[in-house]
Amino acid sequence: MRKLRWLRAPGIFKLLLPNFVWRYNTNHKKVYLTFDDGPIPESTLWTLDMLRGKNVKASFFCVGDNVRKYPDLYRKIIEEGHVVGNHTFNHLKGWGNNTQKYIENVIMASEYIDSKLFRPPYGQIKRSQAKHLLPEYKIIMWDVLSGDYRQDISPEECLNAVLKKVRTGSIILFHNNVKSEKNMRYAVPHLIDALLAEEYSFELCH
């Protein structure tokens, strides 16, 4: 199987950014399923239907402009008992933008997304940007990155890589975007079934 680099966030990141949530501290068999980049009709509706069928809740880190375009989808996420988080308005890279522009983009997203949870797109955020956000937001990163967006791996490889890395308290990151759809649609339901069989529960980010 091709190696998925950075499937689990390097420990040095966690040491440098200790105020971020990388994994939940629990002795119970709990995991936290998350989806970035939605809501979009192509992926989010399918994701919600699948989660409902399996009686599982998840956390959706939404792009503000997508919420603006698809407000009914956003409301549906909340109505079905899932949690939402801010993922900037334009899926902005923190490292490539100055702090003022980045914070303004987060604020713009907050006009559409009612949440005190935030996840930086691409995991990229400067310390100066985080300093501005941490008083208002809990910054949720991840313990297991699925790599579902990669075009050089198969859906089976995506699933197996996540299964090898998941552990108690893991925050697992998938995507609701077109590029990730093939791998995500295969991996997520199989992952849920496998973890439920191992008596894991699926919890919401908080």
Q: For residue 6, is it within any domain?
A: no
Q: Which of 87, 148, 175, 193 is catalytic?
A: 175
On the question of pLDDT at 61 being above 70, the answer is: yes
Q: For residue 5, is it within any domain?
A: no
On the question of pLDDT at 157 being above 60, the answer is: yes
Percent share of the chain, pLDDT over 90: 91
At residue 1, the pLDDT reads: 43
Q: Which domain holds residue 141?
A: 11-202
Q: Which of 28, 36, 65, 193 is catalytic?
A: 36
Give me the number of domains the chain comprises: 1
One-character DSSP codes across 25-51:
--SS-EEEEEEES---TTTHHHHHHHH
Which pLDDT band holds residue 18 (cuts at 50, 70, 90)? low
Q: For residue 136, is it within any domain?
A: yes
Q: For residue 65, is it within any domain?
A: yes
Q: For residue 198, is it within any domain?
A: yes
Asked if residues 144 and 170 have their Cβ atoms less than 8 Å apart, the reply is yes
Tokens 């699926």 found at: 202
Which pLDDT band holds residue 54 (cuts at 50, 70, 90)? very high
Over residues 178-189, the mean pLDDT reads 97
Q: How far apart are CA 44 and CA 64, in angstroms?
A: 15
Q: For residue 1, is it within any domain?
A: no
At residue 8, the pLDDT reads: 64
Instruction: Compute CA distances 59 → 11, 37, 51, 115, 197, whole Å.
Output: 24, 11, 11, 11, 21
On the question of pLDDT at 5 being above 60, the answer is: no
Q: For residue 116, is it within any domain?
A: yes
Q: How far apart are CA 65 and CA 135, in angstroms?
A: 24
Q: Is 36 a catalytic residue?
A: yes
On the question of pLDDT at 17 being above 80, the answer is: no
Helices (H) and strands (E) in the chain, counts: 8, 8
Q: Is 175 a catalytic residue?
A: yes
Q: How far apart are CA 38 and CA 115, in angstroms?
A: 15
On the question of pLDDT at 95 being above 80, the answer is: yes
CATH number at residue 132: 3.20.20.370
Asked if residues 188 and 58 have their Cβ atoms less than 8 Å apart, the reply is no
At residue 14, the pLDDT reads: 64
The amino acid at residue 35 is: F
Q: Indicate the average pLDDT of the chain.
A: 94
